[in-house]
Amino acid sequence: MFTLNSHCNCIFIQFRMVSFYTSIMDTTYHSNISVETLSLLDCDVRNFDFNHPIKNIFFDNFDYIRKLDASGKARPSILDNVERSLLCHTCYLGFDQFECTDCDNWNIIPHSCHSRFCNACGVKYAKQLAAKATSFCLDCPHRHIVFTIPKELRNWFRQDRSRLNLLFVAARNTICTLVNRSLLKKLKMKQLKNTHYIFKDIPVRNEFGMIATIHTFGRDLKWNPHIHCLVPELVYSLKTNKLKMFHHFNFSRLRKTFQYQLIHLIIESGGLKKTEEKNRLYKNHPKGFYVYAKFKSDDNDSNNSSSNKNSKDIQGCVNYFIRYAGRPAMAESRITEYNKGSNTVSWFYNDHKDEKRYDVTDNVIDFINRLIIH
């Protein structure tokens, strides 16, 4: 990293310059500065024709992002994240300067942005998060479960994003109900009402583990919030102080329980005030809300013995559902062309239903709008 003086065993002292990028993003600066200019700002000389199309798109249309922010049509986090991603590894985000105490040898390491629109920082963050999650996973089979909401409810969650927390609670309550089936029957006999966190204060319940993350997008970049969970097939009984295996997942019950728990939480938070709205959701989805889980041979509605896929590859599962925890809603490898002349972006996705590839060409503004809602 450093060019060492052959006559000096360099001992570097670190000096840190903190970020001072606020309100100084200047898109003309990069085009005006000479590439030959070597100074403290040489880390800021950037060629925006590199292989980061999302940053290229934001850089060329930065005025549009500013107008959205000024008009209040974009959340404050949008402009902040776009600015930071464009200034990644420049002096505007601060830098660490290393100097030798015995000679004039020195070097500057600019800071990275940690932005949600920076794939480089996002990939690193996702790997760190995945490693941390894997470190405390139990050494047992795990089940990857995806909880999805119907189209009728998606806009309600987009109106107030704090409501997305209800999806985590509903997923938690659903699994809790499944592993405490006998306890649920006893509580129903006593006619006890559901609490926000079901069975939270009951000391004889079975405890379970869960790692959960939210994706607000589908492969086609539409607003489609859903919860990815990794659940160990093992429960701990507070009553007997013992661990026991829990392999059997009744998918019909899983879907209907998630439907009931989510609707209950929405009503509790002030949504679905009309009875007919709630009844319509039950009528339109008689099998419950869609829940995906990998099949295993002893699950009730698995008739295909070849689908015995309980998740033994914990690392693979964690990597899969955490991969978009700190990066754009799509991989940049899915962008096939960015045409500045026609202001279009061409990209593709593979549909979950048929696994066919679909190619899309969007106006660049429409493409930006697709990304920033996530």
Q: What is the pLDDT of residues 291-334, one digit of tens each?
A: 988 766 566 554 444 344 445 578 888 888 788 787 888 888 89
Residue 236 token pair? 């701990």
> How high is the pLDDT of residue 64?
96
Integer angstrom CA distances of residue 360 from 33, 79, 354? 36, 26, 17
Under-70 pLDDT residues of the chain: 1-51, 295-312
DSSP letters along 97-124, please? EEEESSSS-EEEEEPP---TT-HHHHHH
Residue 340 token pair? 């500045």
Is position 237 within any domain?
yes
Interstrand relation of 223-232 and 234-237 (parallel, antiparallel or unpaired): unpaired
Nearest alpha carbon to residue 330 among 348, 352, 351:
348
Is position 145 within any domain?
yes
pTM, two decimals, is 0.81
Quote the number of domains for the chain.
2
Q: What is the pLDDT of residues 183-211, one digit of tens each?
A: 888 877 777 777 889 888 888 889 999 99
> How high is the pLDDT of residue 24?
45
Q: Last residue of a domain, which of 97, 121, 145?
A: 121
Nearest alpha carbon to residue 176 among 239, 267, 246, 227:
246
Same domain, 210 and 234: yes
- Beta-carbon contacts of 135 under 8 Å, excluding residues fewer than 6 positions away, are none
Q: Last residue of a domain, which of 66, 93, 121?
A: 121
Q: Last residue of a domain, which of 311, 326, 341?
A: 326
